[in-house]
A and B are shown apart, each in its own frame.
Chain A
Amino acid sequence: MNAYRKFFLKKSLWYLVTLFVAVALNFLLPRLIEGNPVSVIANQMTQGMTDSDSIKKVYDTFAAEFGIDKPLWQQFFIYVGNLLKGDLGTSFGLYPMSVTSILASAVPWTLALQLPAILVGWIVGNALGAIAAYKKGVFDKVLFPTFLFINSIPFFILAIIMLYIFGLTLNWFPTSGGYNYQMTPNLSFEFIGSVISHHFLPFISIVLVTIGGQAIGMREMSIYELNTDYVLYSKLLGIKDSTISRYVFKNAMLPQITGLALSIGTMIGGSLITEIVFSYPGIGTWLFTAIRQLDYPLISGATLLIAISVLLANFTIEIIYGLVDPRIKASQMEEE
């Protein structure tokens, strides 16, 4: 267990360093974009003004309020200090709303889009992949190229194509938003129906690509396992096919499960572009708006949320694997 403690500490330290770097980049990168971040608000305020000094004052007031008149290193420490207090600052673009409140309204939409899509894609993809590996023949010859084709389409391109066909041409589904904005959110069948119909296209565009990727991976793993010695040995022993396939799939599933855990960890930032294509009110759309308006706090807040969720997911998986995976265990022992 001592070895494990060491392993755990080492990993934690690495992740903390990574987190610090991520925070620093989140802070720095948006500020490297050219442009005038207070222009969005200040322009509004100074409409119709006829005096340089007054206009300049308005700019300066806002610059001081957002702290962008201070040197960058000072801004960074203020930013980190506020982070520790759980304060992500005030949005420039949606002044005076706080970044946390904007993100809080966006996260549920992102999760509601991603979680079902990942689960459905994963289950269906793995089942299809396994069947293809096991059945071989015509089934595999048709299915495998199809998976390959779907998987190699970038999912946002697929999103745009679907938007065009089912949204614009056939008018089967709405083309943007999370629900019909003429409605007020409530628990009526009408409203829930609206949410579902807006959800369908982005959801399907993610699911299809996920299925393709999962199926290919699962098929590869299964074929590999089917050709291992123990399978041959079991066959020679005369063990029932169904029992053998149970062994095979158990082993083939391993990396797939890791993959699932990872994609659930990266869920928050996983569908940014799909959201943008469909103007879905999740993190992606907000991040896009924020970048266009040079809304530093909102950009930093959204990217930080994504970074933290990815790091946490990875960390959790590593720590658990350290406990249960014999190979990692062995390497810990070696270091002793």
Chain B
Amino acid sequence: MRLKSVLSLFFSLIMVIGLLAACNNEVKPPTTNEPTPSEEGNDSEQNSSGTTPRNETLYVNGLQWGPPSTFSPLGGNPSFPIAYANSRSLIYENLFMINMLDGALEPLLGTSYEWTDDTTLHIELNPDAKWNDGEAFTSEDVVYSYELGNKYSISWSNFWEAIDAVEADGDNAVNIRLKQDNPNRLTVLDSLQLVPMMPKHVWEEIEEKSGNDIAKIREEVNPDPVGTGPYKMHTFDNQKITLIRDDNYWGQSLFGGLPAPKYVSHVIYKDNAAGSLAFKKGEVDVSQQFIPQVWKMWEDGAPIKTYVKDKPYYLPGSMPSIFFNMTKDGLNNPDVRRAIAMAIDYDKISELAMSGYSGEMKPSITLDTPSETKYVDQDAIKSLQWTTDIDAANELLDSIGAKKGADGIRVLNGVRLGPWEIECPYGWSDWNAALEIVAQNAKAIGIEIRTNFPEAPVWTNDLQTGKFDIIMNTPAGAVSPSQPWDRARTIMYSEGVAPVGEMAFWNWGRYKNERADELIKEIPTITDEAKLKEMYTELTKIYLEDIPSIPLMYRPWVFHTVNESVWKGFAVEGDGNNIPPQISIDGAGVKDLYQITNK
């Protein structure tokens, strides 16, 4: 008997060991620190304690939730500090830095840009710029970085829909030529602050090694990226990514010195709650997390600040909206959509879902920020903008003949208004809360809406293939020179939108309006500001009449909250420095690093 138990134990152990061994002969994931030649042998000592001096380290959080997987801008989902859409400029820099306050493109690797003719953009480069391996940064690198998007399917491939060629003009200038049939200036301006500048001399070799196969190139996890930025990779594992300042940074002439923190570190917290707690304790300096009731933190005496001193505390950067499926009976009626828009309690959504960080809702294709509202004649659209008004919504439905049935739900021309499903991913708690409120509000006007919260990949699939009644998503969420055109295009443009059942990547409700299409097509080629305002105003009117989507709330581009227990002097509204709240590391927000000091 004893034999039996001993044997079975023994076999199970053998089996487990075998499995482990089978797993172990694989290539190790990039979870351990790969010592790099540039680190002068203090690597081991750094790792054993795993810490850097607190007063020399800037801790950020809320940008990375899982273990780091790759630091390649070409990878599918690169880890901190690589972020394409946010122009994070710690390691890889862009030609220009976006400033969300005024929408301006500020010089970085590029010093200036100008349209030399209708389809040529001339960009001057900073002759001081060099890579962190000492090589000079030249026009060759710019051409190479752009061309990567032409050669492979990557994040910046879409610019080549409008770009005909990128040519070097000497060592320190490039010309971008637009296609004659699609001279879209707006997307090209976007590219100036989006395309990460990558060193030709490094990536050419990687391309060659991989036989120019993008799947192979993506396997390069790039553990020690060569960039032009002020920081280099220091250490990373599954819990923390740490960058170290490059004291030979070329940009000292541009910024008048080096950034104050010697290290920038991102701890990977398990969830929002853990991250917020650490932030409150002062273990994190800059937090990009949604912190409910942030004011409680400073009321409790923590030295915590938001960029905007008073409510709503954050600047709007995008507007999560609900989209209607135009192919569904009942929902294809603009009056029904307007009634729903008037039934929604936007203040309640702001309070419950956004902790009050969403300012007063002014429906439009533009955000309620000076850099966007200037494009639209606000007086001309006022009469079309809806506000929460249940009585008026009910009156509107009565007037079009939608009568309530015995169950309290209205019927319009034989079509019962509901049950419609309203959808967003499970676990996005602010969105979940917002949709619950919408469903509740709809009941008050005799329309039945039910919430449906599937997992994110399912929601993505439903969104793209048009398998929904009403669905929530953020149209064009980034701040960029092409706003509000990009947002209008995402909501309304019908060209290139596949029919229901196939994948569409914008205008998920399959809305179609020919005049809107014309305007959206034309706007990127217009330079005359008065004409532009006229067109945007007309487009906004169409939007407010047809209501293909309803914005539910304003959301910051990034949540920018700082704790000043270690570092002080972060940008705040009205300090006259024009440094945007872009978490001190994105776009023009990086200027924050040069003005903060130890407490």
A210 → B minimal CB distance (Å): 16
Residue of B nearest to A61 (CB): B153
Whether B28 pairs with A56 at a CB distance below 8 angstroms is no
A182 touches B (CB below 8 Å): yes
Whether A44 pairs with B457 at a CB distance below 8 angstroms is no
Tell me the total A-B contact number using a CB cutoff of 8 A: 230
User: Which residue of the partner chain, among A34, A39, A48, A265, contacts B84 with CB atoms under 8 Å?
Assistant: A48
User: Which residue of the partner chain, among B12, B67, B190, contacts A264 with CB atoms under 8 Å?
Assistant: B12
B77 → A minimal CB distance (Å): 4
Determine the distance from Cα of A98 to Cα of B69 in the docked complex, in whole angstroms. 10
Whether B27 pairs with A98 at a CB distance below 8 angstroms is yes
Whether A320 pairs with B7 at a CB distance below 8 angstroms is yes
B255 touches A (CB below 8 Å): no
Stretch at the interface among A219-227, A235-243, A250-258: A250-258
Q: Which residues of A contact B19 (CB under 8 A)?
A: 107, 268, 305, 308-309
Indicate the member of B454, B461, B504 with the most A CB atoms within 10 Å: B461
Residue of B nearest to A86 (CB): B22
User: Which residue of the partner chain, among B31, B194, B240, B455, contacts A292 with CB atoms under 8 Å?
Assistant: B455
Q: Which residues of B contact A254 (CB under 8 A)?
A: 1
B324 touches A (CB below 8 Å): no
Main secondary structure of the interface of A (DSSP, over half): helix
Determine the distance from Cα of A160 to Cα of B169 in the docked complex, in whole angstroms. 65
B34 → A minimal CB distance (Å): 14
Residue of B nearest to A186 (CB): B48
A177 touches B (CB below 8 Å): yes
Whether A265 pairs with B5 at a CB distance below 8 angstroms is no
Q: Which residues of B contact A103 (CB under 8 A)?
A: 23
Whether B161 pairs with A53 at a CB distance below 8 angstroms is yes
B155 → A minimal CB distance (Å): 5
A158 touches B (CB below 8 Å): no
Q: Which residues of B contact A53 (CB under 8 A)?
A: 161, 496
Q: Which residues of A contact B270 (CB under 8 A)?
A: 176-177, 181, 279
Whether B194 pairs with A48 at a CB distance below 8 angstroms is yes
Contact with A along B489-504 (1 / 0, CB 8 A): 1000000111000011
B448 touches A (CB below 8 Å): no
Whether A50 pairs with B482 at a CB distance below 8 angstroms is yes
Whether B480 pairs with A101 at a CB distance below 8 angstroms is no
Determine the distance from Cα of A45 to Cα of B149 in the docked complex, in whole angstroms. 12
Determine the distance from Cα of A225 to Cα of B355 in the docked complex, in whole angstroms. 66
B430 touches A (CB below 8 Å): no
User: Which residue of the partner chain, among B4, B194, B268, B458, contacts A257 with CB atoms under 8 Å?
Assistant: B4
Determine the distance from Cα of A62 to Cα of B482 in the docked complex, in whole angstroms. 28
B399 touches A (CB below 8 Å): no
Whether A52 pairs with B16 at a CB distance below 8 angstroms is no
User: Which residue of the partner chain, among A54, A182, A253, A279, contacts B283 with CB atoms under 8 Å?
Assistant: A182
A95 → B minimal CB distance (Å): 4
Q: Which residues of A contact B16 (CB under 8 A)?
A: 107, 111, 267-268, 309
Whether B478 pairs with A107 at a CB distance below 8 angstroms is no
User: Which residue of the partner chain, among A43, A49, A260, contacts B158 with CB atoms under 8 Å?
Assistant: A49
Whether A58 pairs with B239 at a CB distance below 8 angstroms is no
Whether B1 pairs with A183 at a CB distance below 8 angstroms is no
B330 → A minimal CB distance (Å): 25
Whether B155 pairs with A181 at a CB distance below 8 angstroms is no
Q: Which residues of A contact B239 (CB under 8 A)?
A: 181-184
**Size of chain B's interface in residues, with CB distance under 8 A?**
86
Whether A49 pairs with B48 at a CB distance below 8 angstroms is no
Whether B458 pairs with A51 at a CB distance below 8 angstroms is no
User: Which residue of the partner chain, among A48, A52, A96, A265, contacts B478 with CB atoms under 8 Å?
Assistant: A48
Residue of A nearest to B46 (CB): A184
Determine the distance from Cα of A41 to Cα of B77 in the docked complex, in whole angstroms. 6
A146 touches B (CB below 8 Å): no
Determine the distance from Cα of A36 to Cα of B24 in the docked complex, in whole angstroms. 31
Contact with B along A279-298 (1 / 0, CB 8 A): 10000000000011110000
Determine the distance from Cα of A112 to Cα of B464 in the docked complex, in whole angstroms. 43
Whether B456 pairs with A39 at a CB distance below 8 angstroms is yes
Q: Which residues of B contact A41 (CB under 8 A)?
A: 76-77
B392 touches A (CB below 8 Å): no
Whether B8 pairs with A43 at a CB distance below 8 angstroms is no
Determine the distance from Cα of A254 to Cα of B4 in the docked complex, in whole angstroms. 10
Instruction: Sample 30 A-B pairs with CB under 8 A, ordered by A number.
Output: A36-B464, A45-B155, A47-B85, A47-B478, A48-B480, A53-B161, A55-B158, A61-B214, A95-B70, A95-B77, A96-B218, A98-B27, A100-B23, A101-B27, A104-B20, A104-B26, A105-B238, A107-B23, A108-B20, A176-B274, A181-B267, A181-B270, A184-B49, A260-B5, A261-B4, A264-B9, A265-B12, A267-B12, A267-B16, A321-B4
The 10 residue pairs across chains A and B that have the minimum distance between CB atoms: A184-B50, A261-B8, A104-B23, A41-B76, A52-B496, A54-B158, A39-B460, A35-B457, A36-B461, A35-B458
* A35-B461, A104-B23 given; 9 more Cβ-contact pairs under 8 Å: A48-B194, A95-B70, A96-B69, A97-B29, A107-B20, A182-B240, A186-B48, A292-B456, A324-B3
B residues with a Cβ closer than 8 A to A are 1, 3-5, 7-9, 11-12, 15-16, 19-20, 22-31, 47-50, 66-67, 69-70, 75-77, 84-85, 152-155, 157-158, 160-161, 187, 190, 194, 214-215, 218-219, 221, 237-240, 267-271, 274, 278, 283, 454-458, 460-461, 464, 476-478, 480, 482, 486, 489, 496-498, 503-506
